[in-house]
Amino acid sequence: MPRKIVSTGRGGTGKSTFVALSARYLRPPILLIDLDPDLSLADMLGADFHREGKRTVCEVLYDVIAKRKSNVSPATTTHDLMESLLWSDSLYEGRKFDLITLGTKLTEGCYCAPDDLLRKTISKLSRSYTNVMVDSPAGVEHLNRNIVSDIDDLFVLCDPSQKSLKHVARIRDIIKQVGMRCSHFYLVADYEFDDVTEERLRHSGEVYLGKVDYDTNVERYNLEGRSLLQLPEDSPACVSVQRILAKAGYR
């Protein structure tokens, strides 16, 4: 069975950066699932969907809905069409990882339809991988929809604010309310924490794994559109993420 990992937290805490850097150290084969509409994870990993002829889940869903309105047999469900297209059109296959991204919704309404399709297909998609890591968007909406109901490791990225600690409590409540199984619940600090504010996480009652250290190269690489996988091995951000994963049992 694959190890299912989720990175979540408030906006701006470095969730996507944590996922991108973790991809360096997870045992392959790796499937990354980006649920954030802004497509930042693909950019951080140097995954050019357009060049590879790949599309987001929302783009594929939009085409499927259009086809069903025309000449597709009523016996063929939207889910059946989506499942085949996810493999052929939405799965970016890289040398170090594979990637599926939700993308920006192209129709009116909420993300319920693409979320539901992902929830139904993730279990099938993940069978071919050792590690499956999900980059969750800011907030708790996707957790509330229970897209990944069986989580091995949940990493909650935090900033040094009271709102962030309240957000941790809300995540705990939602996990309980929706009946989600979560084997390990971890807190990770972003680089803004100092020694004093870190103590608040150490005494929060949750398992605190450490801080992602500040690295000027991360900002520069993102600005230049370079993959974070190209960061040097002695990068402070990389070293700290590797240390955090080691504490969570990743060797």
Q: What is the pLDDT of residues 85-123, one digit of tens each?
A: 777 888 999 989 999 988 776 555 455 666 666 777 777
CATH architecture label of 3-247: 3-Layer(aba) Sandwich (3.40)
- pLDDT score at 138: 72
Compute the average pLDDT of residues 195-211.
95
More confident residue, 175 or 149: 175
Single out the residue of 5, 30, 92, 29 nearest to residue 56, CA to CA: 92
Q: Among 36-45, 132-141, 181-190, 200-209, which is the least confidently predicted range?
A: 132-141
What is the share, in percent, of the chain residues with pLDDT greater than 70? 84
pTM of the model: 0.90
Backbone angles phi, psi at 133, to 5 degrees: -120, 130
CA neighbor of 96 nearest in space, from 229, 241, 245:
229
Q: Taking 90 as the threshold, does the pLDDT of residue 36 lie above it?
A: no
